[in-house]
Structure 1
Amino acid sequence: MGLLWWRFVSVIVALTTVLLCFNQVCHSQQAPNYTFVHEASTAPASASYDYIIIGGGTAGCPLAATLSQKYNVLLLERGGSPYGNPNITNLAAFGVPLADNSPSSPAQRFISEDGVINSRARVLGGGSCLNAGFYTRASTNYVKNAGWDPNLVNLSYHWVENIVAFEPPMLQWQSAVRDGLLEVGVLPFNGFTYDHIDGTKVGGTIFDRHGNRHTAADLLKYANPKGLTVLLHATVHKILFRTKGKQQRPVAHGVVYRDAKGVKHRAHLNKGSKNEIIVSAGALGSPQLLMLSGVGPAQHLSSHNITVVVDQPMVGQGMSDNPMNAIYVPSPSDVEVSLIQVVGITKFGSYIEAASGSNFGLAPTGTPQRNFGLLSPQTGQLGTVPPKQRTPEAIAKAIEVMNSLNSSVFRGGFLIEKILGPLSTGHLELRNKNPSDNPAVTFNYFKEPQDLQRCIDGVTTIERVIESRAFSNFKYPYLSIQALINMTANFPVNLLPKHDNDSVSIEQYCKDTVMTIWHYHGGCQVGRVVDHDYKVLGVDALRVIDGSTFNFSPGTNPQATVMMLGRYMGVRILNERIASEGFA
């Protein structure tokens, strides 16, 4: 009876969530009337606030909206607004921002030392403005291991979902993948759910039924307009510290930032022992900014002539990026354009997902280009050559060939796998003292044998799905699995590079075709750089709240949990502060 009751309750909650979303934002394509959002160039040379949040991304927006209910909050975002940009707001244009490598792009490209091309957000709303939209919660074990309050976690997820999460339409391709996963034993079928449960499920999406994207920036609808100031194109260069007490303990008290014109501004904390600076600049930006501010490995900071505030050798350590590998399946039947909707959560630690169809996007020059959206060479997802060979010339060649092909070639889709964790980790270092430049980051894909084995098992499961009866309408019968895997680099999609032998092991396939699924994390991990309240160890009045604190990527896609974390920690900070200050 209890199980049936909770299923009934979950259905009611889901229906209520969809109705709330529909009533609030589904048909709204106008920019919200955010009277608190301004260009940084309009800001005074100096101003004071109760909280200064650095990074208006997936965690920063819900955090700022929450804290603004009681306090005076400044949110500093180095990018611009997502509103009014159809390449962000429309599903059909997915991949266009990721393909734009201009200085004004909302996506800043970086290449890891491993050679895999990646991207970091530079826009209000962060990665939720750029991603494939999949929305799924962390597992109950993840929540338990993180030490979070499960009741507040659940309430915080619902707070997010009331505005940004939807049930996707299930069309032919995604349905075939779902049924194929069930046929090969990725069981049970869990239907549509935001929960992370072993088996096959239909997850949520931040694209509504009209194909409009809803991002973390939409969560600013919850903000108290009188308590929040958001500044765009505000690049923070340094966190300012002073010392207190006999121990001369560093205390964060302000920041230095520059506007789009390069003019320097300062923001300070109001007097009060509970006021704080919170860094939510992402897995690259947060450790980078701590180092630029003097919190990091002393020897490395000194090599860049940065004054050491705290010797913190773990800043920048534990960097991880979940590797993604894919198989392209050309289809004899038409397929819909779809991003991630179905996921197979296996017991061996690999997540099986799918995307289908192609569309014409615009290059930064405005020229139409054929692309595969999630897995396009325009976005740097070029798996036809090993990582170190993914040069601009190789990408340009793949795009040229792609644009010359008949549209029938693009009828099909990708089955992809992402591994749990991962266990393999790397590190991040500064290249220079410019916060707008990318740091150097190494992820060490497949360094741990268990990660490689999970990829092998994942690709093997994909092969079985492709051969399943449920998937038969979307596969040419004369194309064997080995033929699909061994497609040469003359075909400009993300498949295996040429080898002298006719057959390549799946192990080699995993190494050669590794790409990113943009779920990188680490650099300011709990227990190493921050405590369980996300306070930076060794200093006062400074926290880090974002994906840089994760030891493992939560769920099959982290965005739901990053947004939840912003809300969760905002509520916790408010509750603890209100209790300590003695008012309700």
Structure 2
Amino acid sequence: MGFCMKELCFAFLGIVLFHGLCSSEEGPNYSFIRQGTSAPAVSYYDYIIIGGGTAGCPLAATLSHNGTVLLLERGSSPYGNPNITSLSAFGRALSDPDPSSPSQRFISEDGVINARARVLGGGSCLNAGFYTRAAADYVRDAGWDGALVNESYGWVEKVVAFEPMMKQWQSAVRDGLLEAGVSPYNGFTYDHLVGTKIGGTIFDSQGRRHTAADLLTYANPTGLTVLLHASVRKILFRTKGKARPRAHAVVFSDASGNTHRAYLKDGPKNEILLSSGAIGSPQLLMLSGIGPADHLMAHNITPVLDQPLVGQGMSDNPMNAIFVPSPVPVEVSLIQVVGITPFGSYIEAASGENFAGDGGYRHDFGMFSPKIGQLSTVPPKQRTSVALSRAISAMEALDPVAFRGGFILEKIMGPISTGHLELRNKDPNDNPIVTFNYFKHPQDLQRCVDGLKVIETVIESKAFSQFRYDSLSLPTLINMTANAPVNMLPKHTNVSTSLEQFCKDTVMTIWHYHGGCQVGRVVDSEYRVLGVDALRVIDGSTFNYSPGTNPQATVMMLGRYMGVKILKERFGTDKLND
């Protein structure tokens, strides 16, 4: 297929007047989205992308201008679902136990309850919305082209990024961080800079979420097919007579259980692109025969390539939070401000009750609700279904005044601590076994302690004074008594909880897990899977460290960035500069 000048300008410069194209609550009317049940038994494409998430959508939109692209998403569409699109309903999708919900809960071997996306747009449909770029040294260390990185971020930002509307509580946290010495003040910026800043958000001024699925607005509708409820079971390889295995097809199932095969068209540049995230990508590589040979054979999977590093290097940025009861009402807010400390801890905040949209309030603590698994009242391995039920009942019995306030959280950069992923069984829709080893490395624990000390200074700052009870110091909040407005934390009988113990006992996820298919270990610098041909992994599973304070911007950027690079490889630099 030729690469005409009109397509070049659209695909590579990203010049488009987007805001206004998606004014409907139901979102854009994409003609190329279909149910998996509509797929033929056999089909052929130039590119097959597995996973319509935060990286898969921008990747598909870019490649669709110069090839036929099949994007396979195991979940549903985010459009028309208010639990996804509305800020006021944050947490509902994460707490929905239905097997077809946009969120699939999993519990790591550490005992921390987590979630993986199951929806077109991926984690950008479920998260707290904070948008920030990776640091300049992260881009340099990754070996990325800085100019193309900036162009790719800009391409994303035209569609999904906004400046948040700052109100009193978030402003008090910002000013408290500055009083605490987390400086300089960098104002509103997408850039990752040491100090305090207001970051971007994917929620617009009306509280509507914009997701990676919105980036499909950039797509060439004649070059793209998106199939929903299409769960890939394995990648097929040609091995006979070949020096290296070559990916050439995928097998997927639709919602009715019917099996389909999609093949790559003949051509040396056609590829399968795996974008199923840090849980799904290493899992699917193993199910397809790429992984530790002994582990694969234990599950009756014939090895295509013995690759013991698949599933290694799994990390999740640990989060610890302090609930600060307020004597006055506070606004509903998700993450808007961040304090980026020089010692590697990030301070953020969320506040208020979640408005239910039916004239009343749901006392859910937003992103810290036990309904979504964020339970800090017992240590991780004690967070059973019974413990969750008890916490929810206790929460619902509290006086509404107990919910007046907000959380100030810290999370650590990196992290340095890592774990691993293994198969549980051969069903791609089941969760694999994941271990993150939170705080295994002592530097991670020290960063948590140092971050909590900054939070203490913020709480005690003059700027934050109207939103705290003077009698509730940080030690009191950590070791709360029954007389306190709300009791959220684990207790140790007759022992005052140290900050180190608090970090270990109250650790939660902020849904930034990554690793499992890392660059230099499983994929090369161009994200090609080492040891096989025509297969790349493009998503957060390739990260050694989580980029920026929040990774979604960089994952979306990476999808666009690699789409552009793949097309440049295919057509040549001179062709692109015509």
Alignment map for 1:67-466 (pairs within 5 Å): 67-243=63-239, 245=241, 247=243, 249-361=244-356, 369-466=362-459
Q: CA 1:389/1:65 → structure 2, altered by over 3 Å: closer, same or farther?
A: same
Mark the CA change 1:44 to 1:368 in structure 2 (over 3 Å): closer, same or farther. Answer: farther
Task: Give the equivalent residue in structure 2 for 1:10.
Answer: none
Q: Deviations over 1:157-179 (max 9, x none)?
A: 00000000000001000000000
Which segment is superposed worse, 471-480 or 349-358?
Answer: 471-480
Tell me what 1:9 maps to: none
Structure 1 position 402, deviation (Å): 1.2
Aligned residue identity for 1:564: M
- Confirm or deny: 8 A CA contact 1:382 1:493 kept in the other structure: no
In the TM superposition, residue 558 of structure 1 has moved relative to its aligned partner by: 0.1
Q: Is the 8 A contact 1:519 1:558 kept in 2?
A: yes
| 2:477 alignment partner in structure 1 | 484
Q: Is the 2:286–2:310 Cα contact (8 Å) retained in structure 1?
A: yes
Mapped partners of 1:494, 1:163: distance in 2: 41
Shift of the 581–77 alpha-carbon distance from structure 1 to 2, 3 Å rule, reads: farther
Separation (CA, whole Å) in 2 of partners of 1:169 and 1:379: 26
Deviation at 1:361, TM superposition (A): 4.7
Structure 2 residues not aligned, in runs of 5+: 1-13
Change beyond 3 A, Cα 1:472–1:86: same
What SS class does the counterpart of residue 69 from structure 1 fall into?
helix
* Partners of 1:488 and 1:497 within 8 A in 2: no
Equivalent residue letter for 1:294: G
Change (3 A) 1:369 1:489: farther
The amino acid of 1:326's aligned partner reads A
- Contact 1:362/1:369 (CA < 8 Å) preserved in 2? no
Of residues 493-502 and 209-218 in structure 1, the stretch that sits farther from structure 2 once superposed is 493-502
The AA in structure 2 aligned to 1:217 is A
Q: Distance in 2 between matches of 1:332 and 1:545?
A: 47
Q: How far has the Cα of 1:487 moved from its partner?
A: 2.1
Note closer, same or farther for the CA distance 1:20–1:410 as it changes in structure 2 (3 Å cut).
Answer: farther
Letter in 2 for 1:85: N
Give the 3-state SS of the residue equivalent to 1:512 in structure 2. Answer: helix
Displacement of 1:582 in angstroms is: 6.3
CA distance in structure 1 between the aligned counterparts of 2:321 and 2:284, rounded to whole angstroms? 34
Q: Retained in 2: the 8 A contact 1:244–1:251? A: no
Within 1, Cα distance between the matches of 2:518 and 2:387? 36
1:480 CA displacement:
2.0
Partner AA of 1:116 in structure 2: V
| Residue 41 in structure 1 maps to residue 34 in structure 2 | no
Q: TM-score, normalised by structure 1?
A: 0.94
**Equivalent position of 1:568 in the other structure:** 561
Q: Is 1:163–1:218's contact at 8 Å kept on the other side of the alignment?
A: yes
Residue 503 of structure 1, CA deviation? 1.3
Q: How far apart are residue 501 of structure 1 and its match? A: 2.5
Q: For residues 530 and 491 of structure 1, do their structure 2 counterparts lie closer, same or farther at Cα, with a shift above 3 Å needed?
A: farther
Spell out, residue by residue over 1:48-76, the C-alpha distance to the aligned partner (whole angstroms, 9 max, x if none). 00000000000000000000011000000
Name the structure 2 match of 1:60. 56
**CA pair 20-345 structure 1, distance change in 2 beyond 3 A:** farther
Secondary structure in 1 matching 2:44 = strand
2:8 maps to none
Letter in 2 for 1:79: G
> Secondary structure at 2:65's aligned position in 1?
coil
| One-letter identity of the residue aligned with 2:375 | L
Q: How many residues align?
A: 562
Contact 2:402 2:485 in 1 (8 A): no
How many angstroms apart in 1 are the aligned matches of 2:246 and 2:486? 51
Aligned counterparts of 2:393 and 2:61: Cα–Cα separation in 1: 45
Determine if contact 1:359/1:371 at 8 Å carries over to the other structure. yes
Partner AA of 1:482 in structure 2: P
Q: Deviations over 1:488-544 (max 9, x none)?
A: 699897842111124111000000000000000000000000000000001000000
Query: Residue type matched to 2:269 in 1?
Result: K
Separation of aligned partners in 2, 1:473 and 1:85: 37
Confirm or deny: 8 A CA contact 1:275 1:541 kept in the other structure.
yes
**2:70 and 2:224 in contact (8 A); partners too:** yes
Q: Name 1:515's counterpart in structure 2.
A: 508
Rounded to whole Å, the distance in 2 between the matches of 1:398 and 1:226 is 51
Shift in alpha-carbon separation, 1:494–1:203, aligned structure 2, 3 A: farther
Encode CA deviations 1:421-463: one digit per residue, 9 max, x unaligned: 0000000000000000000000000000000000000011101
1:399 CA displacement: 0.9
2:541 paired with 1:548: yes
Write the distance in 2 (CA, Å) between the matches of 1:540 and 1:406: 60
Give the secondary structure class of the aligned counterpart of 2:152: helix
In 2: Cα distance, 1:31 partner to 1:304 partner? 42
Deviation at 1:23, TM superposition (A): 3.7
In 2, the alpha carbon distance for the partners of 1:573 and 1:492 equals 56
Cα gap change, 1:492/1:280 in structure 2, threshold over 3 Å: closer, same or farther?
Answer: farther
Deviation at 1:24, TM superposition (A): 3.8
For 1:495 and 1:150, the matched residues in 2 are separated by 44
TM-score under structure 2 length normalisation: 0.95
CA RMSD of aligned residues (A): 1.9
Query: For the Cα contact (< 8 Å) 1:326–1:494, is it kept in 2?
Result: no
Conserved? CA contact 2:277–2:541, under 8 Å: yes
Unpaired runs of at least 5, structure 1? 1-16
CA shift, 1:359, in A, is 2.1
Counterparts of 2:67 and 2:484, CA distance in 1: 56
CA shift, 1:483, in A, is 1.1
C-alpha separation between the residues in 1 aligned to 2:486 and 2:142? 39
Kept in 2, the 8 Å contact 1:186–1:344? The answer is yes
Q: Percent identity?
A: 72
Secondary structure of 1:398's counterpart equals helix
CA contact 2:212–2:556 (8 Å) conserved in 1 = yes
Between stretches 567-576 and 367-376, larger displacement belongs to 367-376
Confirm or deny: 8 A CA contact 1:173 1:356 kept in the other structure.
yes
When residues 147 and 397 of structure 1 are mapped into structure 2, their CA distance, relative to the original with a 3 A threshold, is same
Which string of whole-angstrom CA distances, capped at 9 and with x for unpartnered residues, describes residues 324-362 of structure 1?
Answer: 000000000110000000000000000000000012559
Distance 2:26 2:97 in 1: 27
Query: How far off is 1:30 after superposition?
Result: 2.9
> Does the 8 Å contact 1:298/1:308 carry over to 2?
yes
Kept after mapping to 1: 8 A contact 2:293/2:306: yes
SS of residue matched to 2:66: coil
Query: Alpha carbons of 1:489 and 1:59: their partners in 2 closer, same or farther (altered >3 Å)?
Result: farther
Give the secondary-structure state (helix, strand or coil) at the position aligned to 1:371.
coil
- Higher mean C-alpha displacement, 415-424 vs 367-376: 367-376
Q: C-alpha offsets along residues 117-152 of structure 1, whole Å, 9 cap, x if unaligned?
A: 000000000000000000000000000000000000
